[in-house]
Amino acid sequence: MINIIDYGRGNLHSVQKALERLGAEVRVSSKPEDILSAAKVILPGVGAFGDCMGNLERYGLVPAIRETAASGKPLLGICLGLQMLFEGSEEDPGVPGLGIFPGQVKLIEAPGLKIPHMGWNSLTWRQESILFRGLPAGSFVYFVHSYHAVPEDASLVTAVTEYGGAVTAAVGQGNVQAVQFHPEKSGTVGLQILKNFKEWQP
């Protein structure tokens, strides 16, 4: 069972439908007990960092997410779900993130280019990740974001994309993996990433 965390901020149903097309058993729930009992967990997110963290706090989900990360069970962050894994964001200074990974989320610096970074862009691998198994370097995925994660430990970055310089596209360590782009909007490449997560047996 894959549990997609429902806290009022995320592309829940498009992610759910994509996984179900792949044959996954999926539950969408905001109950901490459902998160803790699931075999795998997905943390989606769209909108502002502070709003998303505020909703996680209101739903009482922060301890369950941290416990899942510490448990060894696969946890996948998508878009703002990646950013919230870090300690904080320039988007909402003073709002603490989940703190699962050390580092901050910062505004993309891309002089002469539009922010947000929106549309299709290619990936460059930095570290091996279960999510990218079977995908060629240079695979294209769909982004919509103005901020990106800057980990204290650069080895957490598993993929980058170029947008006025290297922009963090994916991070991961052990059972916790995350992507800044939207796999559910990224065609066959995105489906392969979700399939890899579905089939992952750490």
Catalytic residue among 117, 145, 148, 184: 184
For the chain, the distance separating the N- and C-terminal CA atoms, rounded to the nearest angstrom, is 15
Give the phi and the psi of residue 34 in degrees, each rounded to 5. -70, -40
Catalytic residue among 52, 79, 117, 145: 79
Runs of H (alpha helix) within the chain: 12-21, 32-37, 49-58, 62-71, 80-83, 187-199
**Residue 13 designated active-site:** no
State both tokens at 98: 């989940």
**Residue 52 designated active-site:** no
Catalytic residue among 13, 90, 182, 199: 182
The residue to which tokens 């992610």 are assigned: 15
Burial group, residue 121, by CB count within 10 angstroms (0-12, 13-18, 19+): middle
Contacts (Cβ under 8 Å, ≥6 apart) of 157: 126, 127, 149, 151, 168, 170, 171
d(CA 116, CA 181): 12
Question: Taking the CA atoms of the chain, what radius of gyration do you get in angstroms?
Answer: 15
Catalytic residue list = 79, 182, 184
